[in-house]
Amino acid sequence: CSSDLPFTTLLGAAYRTNGNYFSAKRMVFAMEMPDGHFDFLLNDTNRDEGSLQSEIKKQFNLKGRLELRETNVLVLKVKDRNAPALRFGGVPKYDLNESFARPLTTTALAETLEQEFFHQPVIDETRLAGTIYFFALPRKPEDLDLLKQILLEQSGLELVPDRRSIEMLVVEKAN
């Protein structure tokens, strides 16, 4: 059972791809979305995405479809492969008052940056997938300059603005 979730989280669960939830940053809305937060319960009879999609259609008259759309993105790239946090067992140095360390793969880091810090998709092009590193992240999500500085100095990673065609979830009226 999940409770008190924004509507975009329900959509992300209903239309997930490859087992990954769709980020709200990768959604396009053709109309106003329902306000408030929602609860949902998955059981053995409604565990698949199709059941949740059907329920959203029934209760809110909304459906989603995947579509390639060109949009602004941030591309996560390696600038310095010898950065302290990218070395085996490396832990970034950071100010405990301003930041905290989190163990993540670079793919999970990109998802975290997209969902918690930036208002646009983040694409992992580090080619470091699968390995867990410790990344220092600012305690305040709005402190993006500090985030970029820490990523570059401690982890050797940079975020490069670009425009790409990516898969987006387009949400529209069902009828």
Closest by alpha carbon to 35, among 15, 63, 6, 57? Answer: 6
pLDDT tens for 77-115 read 999 999 988 887 777 777 788 888 888 999 999 999 998
Helix (H, G, I), strand (E, B) or coil at 42: coil
**Amino acid 42: pLDDT:** 64
pLDDT tens for 32-64 read 888 878 877 666 555 555 788 888 899 899 999
Confidence grade of residue 76 (pLDDT, cut at 50, 70, 90) = very high
List of residues 6+ apart from 142 with CB closer than 8 A = none
Residue 19 has pLDDT above 70, yes or no: no
**Amino acid 125: pLDDT:** 96
Q: Please report which helix (H) or strand (E) contains residue 166, including its range.
A: strand 157-173
Neighbours of 3 (CB within 10 A): 9
Report, as an integer, the average pLDDT of 17-40: 81
Neighbours of 92 (CB within 10 A): 20
Report, as an integer, the average pLDDT of 112-138: 90
pLDDT tens for 131-167 read 889 888 888 888 898 899 989 988 999 999 999 999 9
**Amino acid 22: pLDDT:** 78
Q: Is-contact 73 123, C-beta < 8 A?
A: yes
Residue 15 has pLDDT above 80, yes or no: yes
Q: Which residue has the higher pLDDT, 146 or 123?
A: 123
**Amino acid 2: pLDDT:** 66
How much of the chain exceeds pLDDT 90, in percent? 41
Q: Please report which helix (H) or strand (E) contains residue 82, including its range.
A: none
Do strands 62-78 and 122-124 pair parallel, antiparallel, or not at all (unpaired)?
A: parallel
